[in-house]
Structure 1
Amino acid sequence: MRTSKVFLTTLWVTALSVLSPAFAVASHQEEKKTDTVPFNLPLKDKKILFVLSSKAKLGGESPRKAGVWAESLAAPYEILTQQGAKISLASVEGGKAPVDPRSENSDFATAYTKQFRKDAQGQELLAHTMRLSDVQAADYDAICYTSSYGMFYDLVDNPDSIRLLTEFERAKKPIGLTSQGPLVLKNVKDAKGGVLVKGKVVTAFRNSEEAGSKLALDHNLFPISILKTMDHGRTYRTAALPEDQFLKELKLVGTVPFLTETLLKSQGAVYKSRKNWESFVVEDLTNDGAILLTAQNPDSIELWSKAFIQILLNQQAVETKIATGGAREFSGEGEGLSL
């Protein structure tokens, strides 16, 4: 009897010694399988390129620091990555891209800028942007430009920026631009050699918003809530001036070379806007080129980001609507937006 127990015990131990590695391997494979299963995120297969200015300072009559406006990067980065999108950052010079210090102070801080400052991956990308000349349009599904006063100087005439925008437009890939961002289209041509923005429905930073922000800066009328509720009389009067007088009146000569709204209108774009600082986004549907999504001001960037998700998810459906012409408009808390 004792011999039988010893035999059974030996057999049991032997069986465990043989089977345990098999169980261990199976368990490990199951863990690996779980690790490699992608999250069911709607944009997990989308790669989006964000282009930033490398200009850190502006000269002229009103010298000041420049750099990307924090909200114009933070909000779309956080919103799009939460949906699984893979974001890459590129700047003219590569390396660490400057951030406008005003946009990071408490007057302009938002939940997105605070979140982005704590986002290790986002901060790593910002500190090591790719050089724009090394970027190929074929590697991305969409391109976006963050807003910055520096882009007047290092992106408007930049051959690599013009090349990328042209390639995205020809490939009918979405182009996203916020606030002053549409100014990068100044030297981009359509397939027939004409001005790309001619006839396109767009929005951008209003001249009156440009005037209001400069007057607020001069008179320290911050936080932004004061700027939004202040008397707009002078801002609108200034905005009605010819461009050269506008820049002289606000001491922006040599600092801001031209006004985005004025540029777009002069090139034949169908410019639309809402009141100063209202959230407003426009998706152009006027021809068979790239899908163009523009936002009026920093307050529009969250709405713009959510609209951009819709475009990326329904790109094929949107393309079928292009022949009808016109535009889709999004405003307020998301009017016209179904996500």
Structure 2
Amino acid sequence: MNKILVVLTNTTQFTKKDEATGLWLGEATEFVEDVEAAGYQVDYVSPKGGYVPLDPRSMKYADNTALARYRSNDFQDRALSHSLSPADINPADYVAIYYTGGHGVMFDFPNDTALQNISRQIYQNGGYLTSVCHGIAGLLNLKDEAGHYLISGQKITGFTTSEEVLSGKTRMVPFLNEKVARQHGAQFLKKRAFKPYAVTDGQFITGQNPWSPHEVARQLITALKTHAN
């Protein structure tokens, strides 16, 4: 078993304003580039399955490698056009789940019970729960069978309140990731805004912002190879 499940958003716009949002392209492509190079396969899933929109702002930051993957038939088909739905997923097939970001995830990740069930089973099987940037929203409300937040007591990171202020979206998002993480008992760690940073704590590997997918991938690959030995 050497598969990783990549979670993408179906949200096309902010609810408080008619402004486009969606997946932050590099947060998917950079991570996938690294884990595939290390020999892992990926599947793409979204809350509803099917179409995955791109945050148009993310295209400005996409490098040639990201754009090459974006244009590939595989990514266009399996990620952006025909992502799997949670009902298609057997959690036992995956060694890790990775929640991508983009502001869209703030609306469809936090309370998706199907994705939570998949994540919980991967975790119970000894797999890794990973995310980058706003993708931490997919882990904030995840609970164990006793009803305790899985992030409680864990060292994690994600898009910070200061980064949200700098992005100009604090009034458009339904909550602030850093605030909720602390409310749910996590030890929220952070470094300078918009600089690469990721942290590993047990089965959690999380990255702070759009500059952190490579670091999340690196730490996950290290953890998986160490666990396998």
TM-score range, shorter chain: over 0.9
For 1:295 and 1:270, the matched residues in 2 are separated by 14
Aligned residues: 228
Give 1 or 2 for the bigger CA radius of gyration.
Answer: 1
Q: Is residue 2:50 matched to residue 1:50? A: no
The corresponding residue for 1:73 is 28
Which residue, out of 181, 198, 202, partners 2:156?
202
Q: How far did 1:273 drift?
A: 0.6
Letter of the 1:125 counterpart: R
Identity, % of aligned positions: 26
Which residue, out of 158, 168, 185, partners 2:122?
168
Q: What TM-score does the superposition give when structure 2 sets the normalisation length?
A: 0.93
RCO higher in 1 or 2 (8 Å CA, sep ≥ 6)?
2
Q: Is residue 2:108 matched to residue 1:154? A: yes
Q: How far did 1:91 drift?
A: 1.0
Letter of the 1:114 counterpart: L
Q: Which SS does the other structure have where 1:298 is aligned?
A: coil
Which residue, out of 119, 122, 125, partners 2:75?
122
Q: Which SS does the other structure have where 2:6 is aligned?
A: strand
Q: What RMSD, in angstroms, separates the aligned Cα atoms of the two structures?
A: 1.6
Q: Which SS does the other structure have where 1:121 is aligned?
A: helix
Which structure dedicates a bigger proportion of its chain to helix? Answer: 1
Q: How far did 1:182 drift?
A: 1.5
Q: What TM-score does the superposition give when structure 1 sets the normalisation length?
A: 0.64
Pairing of 1:115-264 with structure 2 (within 5 A): 115-126=68-79, 127-214=81-168, 247=170, 252=171, 255-264=172-181
Which residue, out of 68, 78, 96, partners 2:51?
96
For 2:90 and 2:180, the matched residues in 1 are separated by 28
Letter of the 1:284 counterpart: D
Q: Is residue 2:224 matched to residue 1:271? A: no
For 2:130 and 2:36, the matched residues in 1 are separated by 16
Structure 1 unaligned spans of 5+:
1-44, 216-246, 286-290, 318-339
Q: Which SS does the other structure have where 1:115 is aligned?
A: helix
For 2:23 and 2:95, the matched residues in 1 are separated by 22
For 2:48 and 2:145, the matched residues in 1 are separated by 28
Letter of the 1:295 counterpart: G
